[in-house]
Amino acid sequence: MADYTIWHNPKCSTSRFVLQALQEAGVDVEVRDYLAQPPSTSELRDALDRLAIAPRALLRRRNTPHDDLGLDDPALSDDALITAMAKHPALIERPVVFGPKDARLCRPKETVFDLLAG
């Protein structure tokens, strides 16, 4: 089992930077193309717990169905947002890196170095 896991989008320059930083640090990393292998609602809840953020903080707006789905509505519950992310993984901001001690949404991309410093 890898020490680190990255929810990765190979088309994203930030995600590629973070993956390269992990590889150059010599850590054992599992790469998960989260668009091809979307996380379940349970995995998203676990990720949000590890990240210590609310679902809205993990929502991506640009180039996603965010606006079409009306996800700006403040009345939407966390469960509704998590369900939307599981159904439409493009809504998940990237990259997310899970390390042995904690996890980070690596935006800005240099956040990966804080994670590696542990």
**Angle (CA) 98 100 101, round 5°:** 95
**pLDDT single digits (tens) 68-118:** 999 999 999 999 999 999 999 999 999 999 999 999 999 999 999 999 997
Q: Which two tokens stand for residue 8?
A: 């990765």
| CA-based end-to-end distance of the chain | 19
Active-site residue, 106 included = no
Q: Collapsing DSSP states into helix, strand and coil, what is residue 81?
A: helix
- Identify the pLDDT of residue 118: 78
From CA 46, how far away is CA 61, in angstroms rounded? 22
The catalytically annotated residue of 3, 12, 19, 24 is 12
**Residue 68: its H or E element:** none
pTM for the whole thing?
A: 0.94
Location of structure tokens 């998203």: 44
pLDDT digits (tens, 9 = 90+) for 30-62: 999 999 999 999 999 999 999 999 999 999 999
The full set of domains in the chain, from first to last, is 4-117 (3.40.30.10)
In terms of Cβ atoms closer than 10 Å to its own Cβ (0-12, 13-18, 19+), residue 19 is buried
Beta-ladder partners of 29: 4
Q: Which pLDDT score is estimated for 70?
A: 97
